[in-house]
Chains A and B, each alone.
Chain A
Amino acid sequence: MSSLSDKSAQEISDLLDEYGIKHGPVVESTRNLYEKKLKEAMAKGKRAKPSPDKTYYREEEEEVTYVYRTPTKSEASGDRGAYPRARQEWNERDYQHETSYSNYSKPKPEYNRSSYGNEPDMYDTPSTYRSTYAKSPPMKSGQDVPDAPKSSRLIPLSEGFLSLLHSTLATMTMMMRATTNVRPDTSQLIPIGLRMGSGSENKRTFL
């Protein structure tokens, strides 16, 4: 196996692309770093070509809508161990992509976990997949919406505070209304009380 230091800059760049490592130009100051990254990627296991397709997959996934094929459910459940597809709608629309994926090398379970550490729930080996499938089928549809914004958490934080503000303002307005509702009653009661006071003292005891 030729060492990475013997390779040209272009070869290093190509290898980085194969492993899906985003990189800049391979120059003197960056070469050592990229060689280390490649060594780590190689040590983790060969996940060479499909990884760039994964990015395409995500883009395609956003575009493609439901392709509902009921007979593929039984097949897809068996295939899902090999194909990391449980991202959003697992039943639908994956089958076409799965056929395209079938052209690539099959040992993917390790690749699934190592490549996407951010989303462990989505890509599972066959042993764990069904357990998560069983646990969270209702959550999958619900997780779609919150998963997207999780990538940028700043926005939901501000939204949370806005909702807090809104709720407090709502309570405040309700209280203000309550106070305004109370006031006319007291304004009415005071002259009544004066009249009552001028009349008989006995009636005060009821109040």
Chain B
Amino acid sequence: MIRTRSRRVGEGLVRVCVCVCVCVCVCVCVCVPAVRMSTTSQKHRDFVGEPMADKPVTALSGIGETLGKKLEENGFDKAYVVLGQFLLLRKDTEMFTDWLKDSIGANSRQASSCAQCLKEWCDAFL
């Protein structure tokens, strides 16, 4: 019958819509945290995932060879010494970012990346 056919088609459409909604929900639940994760680099994740021990300053997120050398010239030869400075500034990321910019000439991205890295390390291990 036409009515049964139309009803069957309607049921099929409804089922498709339900599946779409479920997929959207799943995607939202999965993708959003994934997006948050992807904003941190591998270097960041490597540093924050374990105690820093005697890692060099270049292990810090945002600190490459150039900035690492400048830090060492200023006496910050290990990551834990930079951590010490971060703690002296009361774990204030903004203050620490300013300090990095002033002392070694880091740009905003590098400084904020390093600050965020240290903050998360402290949240995890301190």
Contacts and interface: CB of A to CB of B under 8 A. Distances in A.
Interface residues of B, number: 30
Interface centre among A168, A178, A185 (most CB of B within 10 A): A168
A199 interface: no
Given A29-B88, A33-B95, A164-B28, A172 B7 contact: no
B85 A29 contact: yes
A198 to B, nearest CB: 14
Say what secondary structure dominates the interface of chain A: helix
B117 to A, nearest CB: 19
A37 B94 CA distance: 12
Interface in A113-167: 161, 164-165
Contact of B10 (A30, A164, A182): A182
Contacts, number: 71
B interface, over-half SS: helix
Contact of A24 (B4, B17, B21, B90): B90
A196 B68 CA distance: 87
Nearest to B96: A33
A103 B7 CA distance: 78
Given A185-B7, A207-B1, A172 B21 contact: yes
Interface string A63-94: 00000000000000000000000000000000
B84 to A, nearest CB: 8
B4 A168 contact: no
Interface string B1-14: 11110011011001
Contacts of B124: none
Contacts of B22: 172
Contacts of B2: 207
Contacts of B85: 29-30
B18 A22 contact: no
Classify chain A: how many residues form its interface, as a range: 20 to 34
Nearest to A157: B32
A189 B99 contact: no
Nearest to A171: B21
Interface of A: 22-25, 27, 29-30, 32-33, 36-37, 161, 164-165, 168-169, 171-172, 175-176, 178-179, 182-183, 185-186, 189-190, 193, 204, 207
Interface of B: 1-4, 7-8, 10-11, 14-15, 17-18, 21-22, 24-25, 28-29, 32, 85, 87-90, 92, 95, 98-99, 102-103
